[in-house]
Chains A and B, each alone.
Chain A
Amino acid sequence: MTTNSSSNAGPSHKTVEAGVTTVIGLFGALVVYGSVKAGTGWGAEGPRAGFFPFYIGLFIVGSSLVNLWNLFREDEGNLFAEWIQLRQVLSVVIPTTIYVAAMPFIGLYVASFIFIAWFMRWLGKYNWPTVLAVSIGMPLVTYFLFERYFLVPLPKGPIENLIGL
């Protein structure tokens, strides 16, 4: 971890934290708005649906303002992360997103096989035999453990149906 490196090595912690705090504050405002729509007053059966979340939303907005205020009194501090670290994080987030998006269509087993194989081959640089052993082995173990032994059905797609799982 480098602490005082040049500013183009990554976003500063302060900037990111200000962003996160603002998003939380906006979320709070959204909650307040939604609660008002649901009704915050008293109805025939007592407090209405929006009564409780309305105050929750106000708390979120209020504490975010305090957090922002505290943040601006702080000095320019450390880096949030270096760009290269954020790239590492994205190199997991993006394939995982594709994996999750593909799951309803091609089934969990095939998606997991492709995902594990991709991960090990491109990020881990393993040779193909190892890659195939793990990426085929894991879905197989999963199938027997979940589907057969504990009777928990998992999503399947055309290929799984073709094999007749």
Chain B
Amino acid sequence: MEEILNLFQGFAVALQPFNIMVMILGIVLGVVIGVLPGLGGANGVAILLPLTFSMPPTSAIIMLSCIYWGALFGGAITSVLFNIPGEPWSVATTFDGYPMAQQGKAGEALTAAFTSSFVGAFFAVVMITLVAPLVASLALKFGPAEKFAVYFLAFCSFVGLSKEPPFKTIAAMMIGFALAAVGLDSVTGSLRLTFGFTELLNGFDFLIAVIGLFGIGEILLTMEEGLAFRGGKAKINLSVVIQTWKELPRYWMTSLRSCIIGCWMGITPAGATPASFMSYGIAKRMSRNGKNFGKGEIEGVIAPETAAHAAGTAALLPMLSLGVPGSPTAAVLLGGLLIWGLQPGPMLFVEQKDFVWGLIASMYLGNLVGLIVVLTCVPVFAAILRIPFSIIAPLILVLCAIGAYSVHNSTFDVAMMLVFGVIGYGLKKTGYPLAPLVLAIVLGDKAEEAFRQSLLGSQGSLGIFFSNGLVSTIMILGLIALFWSVIQEGYSRLRTRAATA
């Protein structure tokens, strides 16, 4: 009951005129970011983060989270109309969305995509409203060992659940941890890994890494394909929307399944991209029209979009209640909290009630505003895509440079951004996932601190991580997640053996 009351107070915060204004601004910017190649949720938010330094924190997080929702919506537009996924999580949407557009059903595909996005996000926000306070109150009892166990679980899920080869994920993640360790050691106050460069005293800022890895890296990847662009037209009118909406309830089962997959994958930091693929795959297997998937089946649009948006939203649950972001974009938002002087984690629910519930209320409103904005403005956003890449590319590069500079007012950071960009290009081309790298840079210091404090308490014995029921449970969940693919393989092998015997 208390949550409902808090939520209403949150709505009062979110409905202030200034906050509604930044909400709409955020959504529009977000859709533009989602539509443009090379600008994604994570680095879009990172670039615009400095703009919010002068705002009150609640308005700032509303704007930034709305950029995120907008980017999630925007990814669908390019996938359906141009067969170019604006975001990695909308790759699965192209499978059926683009064929539908080619059959002249672009309006239906877009309506289905946006509506499913909204449904997925709404489901996830309801879940956050109900679950986040519980998780936070549980997390208040956490000592350093439990904290480290949560980080352990988060990173193990990355290794076990991602599609990339596990050792590449581990390598990418550990690079992130190493980069986070550079500079002044917060516990002993001594320097490490700086090799005499004074620029490295403060270590690597993950915002710079995000802008470089995702922004510059993505531009370089797009450059490979050349400067060609493909045009397309889109129109949504009210009758198409209503007709599609009449059709959608038939697929409630697919929606619900995708919502659950999305929430699960969002909380464990596997993220929106695998969630969309998994949801698409399962829908294909379960649906009666499964063999039509890939030829323009509306269900093939609903499944990945619902899951991607649910995952993207659910990623904020661990960020708010535990201080462990579930996706790179959530990590950037977490970085924002730190800059505004708020400590993410369970104490936020006790000390910053207005902030937390204002944010949660803004998630409800932001997604509703987003749905309306994208349904009414598709032609405008589609027109942005028709601007040739040779104009867009230098503008995005300049924007990235501005964003990187304004984090610390340092031109050295801009150079670092470029270095990260080239590294990001190389890693992406060779199949190393970037998300765990970024998350490790963000969480590296905290994970290390928790680890060292735990060991300090136990005089160096690793037994502390299995010393009570709570911490052992989290560690064992982590180990299960780590070896998930091995367990799955073993299970299916057992089953086939049982079947043949």
Binding site for B on A (CB under 8 A): 13, 16-17, 20-21, 24, 27-28, 31, 34-35, 37-39, 42-43, 45-53, 56-57, 59-60, 63-64, 66-67, 70, 80-81, 85-86, 88-89, 91-93, 96-97, 99-101, 103-104, 108, 112, 115-116, 119-120, 123-126, 134, 138, 142, 145-146, 150-155
The answer to the question of B181 belonging to the interface, with a C-beta cut-off of 8 Å to chain A, is: yes
Query: In B139-196, which residues have CB < 8 Å from any A CB?
Result: 165, 167-168, 170-171, 174-175, 177-178, 181, 185, 187-188, 190-193, 195
Interface size class of B (residues with CB under 8 A): 35 or more
| B430 in complex: contacting residue of A16, A146, A155, CB < 8 Å | A16
The reply to whether A53 and B192 contact each other, CB–CB distance below 8 Å, is: yes
Q: Which of B65-73, B255-263, B410-418, B488-496 contacts A (4 or more CB under 8 A)?
A: B410-418
| A120 in complex: contacting residue of B53, B188, B391, B421, CB < 8 Å | B391
The reply to whether B51 and A146 contact each other, CB–CB distance below 8 Å, is: yes
The reply to whether B187 and A45 contact each other, CB–CB distance below 8 Å, is: yes
The reply to whether B456 and A108 contact each other, CB–CB distance below 8 Å, is: no
| Cβ of B453 to closest chain A Cβ, rounded Å | 8
The reply to whether A142 and B224 contact each other, CB–CB distance below 8 Å, is: no
Q: Can you list 14 contacts pairing A with B, beta carbon distance less than 8 Å?
A: A21-B430, A31-B178, A43-B188, A45-B188, A47-B187, A47-B452, A48-B188, A57-B178, A64-B171, A93-B418, A150-B50, A150-B51, A153-B409, A155-B405
The reply to whether A17 and B431 contact each other, CB–CB distance below 8 Å, is: yes
Query: In B359-389, which residues have CB < 8 Å from any A CB?
Result: 388
The reply to whether B177 and A49 contact each other, CB–CB distance below 8 Å, is: no
Question: A27 contacts which chain B residues (CB < 8 A)?
Answer: 175, 178
Question: A63 contacts which chain B residues (CB < 8 A)?
Answer: 167-168, 170-171, 174
Closest A residue by C-beta to B53 = A152
The answer to the question of B205 belonging to the interface, with a C-beta cut-off of 8 Å to chain A, is: no
Q: Which of B272-280, B311-319, B395-403, B467-475 contacts A (4 or more CB under 8 A)?
A: B395-403
The reply to whether A53 and B181 contact each other, CB–CB distance below 8 Å, is: yes
**Given contacts A50-B192, A80-B429, is CB(A103)–CB(B181) below 8 Å?**
no
| A46 in complex: contacting residue of B187, B388, B401, B425, CB < 8 Å | B187
Closest A residue by C-beta to B394 = A119
- The 7 closest A-B CB pairs, nearest first, are A124-B390, A38-B192, A119-B394, A49-B185, A34-B193, A53-B181, A63-B171
The reply to whether A53 and B430 contact each other, CB–CB distance below 8 Å, is: no
The reply to whether B398 and A88 contact each other, CB–CB distance below 8 Å, is: no
The reply to whether B51 and A56 contact each other, CB–CB distance below 8 Å, is: no
Given contacts A35-B193, A45-B187, A53-B192, 7 further A-B pairs with CB under 8 A are: A16-B430, A20-B427, A49-B190, A66-B167, A89-B220, A91-B223, A150-B50
Question: A92 contacts which chain B residues (CB < 8 A)?
Answer: 219-220, 223, 393, 397
The answer to the question of B406 belonging to the interface, with a C-beta cut-off of 8 Å to chain A, is: yes
| Cβ of B147 to closest chain A Cβ, rounded Å | 15
Question: A24 contacts which chain B residues (CB < 8 A)?
Answer: 171, 175
The reply to whether A119 and B452 contact each other, CB–CB distance below 8 Å, is: no
| Cβ of B201 to closest chain A Cβ, rounded Å | 13
| B398 in complex: contacting residue of A42, A91, A138, CB < 8 Å | A138
The answer to the question of B460 belonging to the interface, with a C-beta cut-off of 8 Å to chain A, is: yes
Question: A21 contacts which chain B residues (CB < 8 A)?
Answer: 171, 430
CA distance A47 to B418 in the complex (A): 35
The answer to the question of B54 belonging to the interface, with a C-beta cut-off of 8 Å to chain A, is: yes
The reply to whether A154 and B406 contact each other, CB–CB distance below 8 Å, is: yes
The reply to whether A115 and B414 contact each other, CB–CB distance below 8 Å, is: no
Question: A85 contacts which chain B residues (CB < 8 A)?
Answer: 224-226
The reply to whether B167 and A112 contact each other, CB–CB distance below 8 Å, is: no
CA distance A134 to B456 in the complex (A): 58
CA distance A112 to B430 in the complex (A): 31
| B391 in complex: contacting residue of A88, A96, A134, CB < 8 Å | A134
**Given contacts A43-B188, A63-B174, is CB(A115)–CB(B195) below 8 Å?**
no
Question: A50 contacts which chain B residues (CB < 8 A)?
Answer: 192
Query: In B433-447, which residues have CB < 8 Å from any A CB?
Result: none
CA distance A39 to B421 in the complex (A): 32
Closest B residue by C-beta to A125 = B390
The answer to the question of B464 belonging to the interface, with a C-beta cut-off of 8 Å to chain A, is: no
Question: A134 contacts which chain B residues (CB < 8 A)?
Answer: 391, 395
Question: B181 contacts which chain A residues (CB < 8 A)?
Answer: 31, 52-53, 56
Question: A155 contacts which chain B residues (CB < 8 A)?
Answer: 405, 411
Question: A142 contacts which chain B residues (CB < 8 A)?
Answer: 398, 402
| B418 in complex: contacting residue of A70, A100, A153, CB < 8 Å | A100
The reply to whether B411 and A97 contact each other, CB–CB distance below 8 Å, is: no
Question: B422 contacts which chain A residues (CB < 8 A)?
Answer: 93
Question: A96 contacts which chain B residues (CB < 8 A)?
Answer: 216, 397, 418, 421
The reply to whether A93 and B401 contact each other, CB–CB distance below 8 Å, is: no
| Cβ of A85 to closest chain B Cβ, rounded Å | 4
**Given contacts A92-B393, A104-B411, A120-B391, is CB(A146)–CB(B185) below 8 Å?**
no
| Cβ of B456 to closest chain A Cβ, rounded Å | 4
The reply to whether B401 and A99 contact each other, CB–CB distance below 8 Å, is: yes
| Cβ of A122 to closest chain B Cβ, rounded Å | 9
| A100 in complex: contacting residue of B223, B401, B430, CB < 8 Å | B401
Question: A13 contacts which chain B residues (CB < 8 A)?
Answer: 430
Question: A64 contacts which chain B residues (CB < 8 A)?
Answer: 171
| B429 in complex: contacting residue of A35, A81, A151, CB < 8 Å | A81
The reply to whether B192 and A34 contact each other, CB–CB distance below 8 Å, is: yes
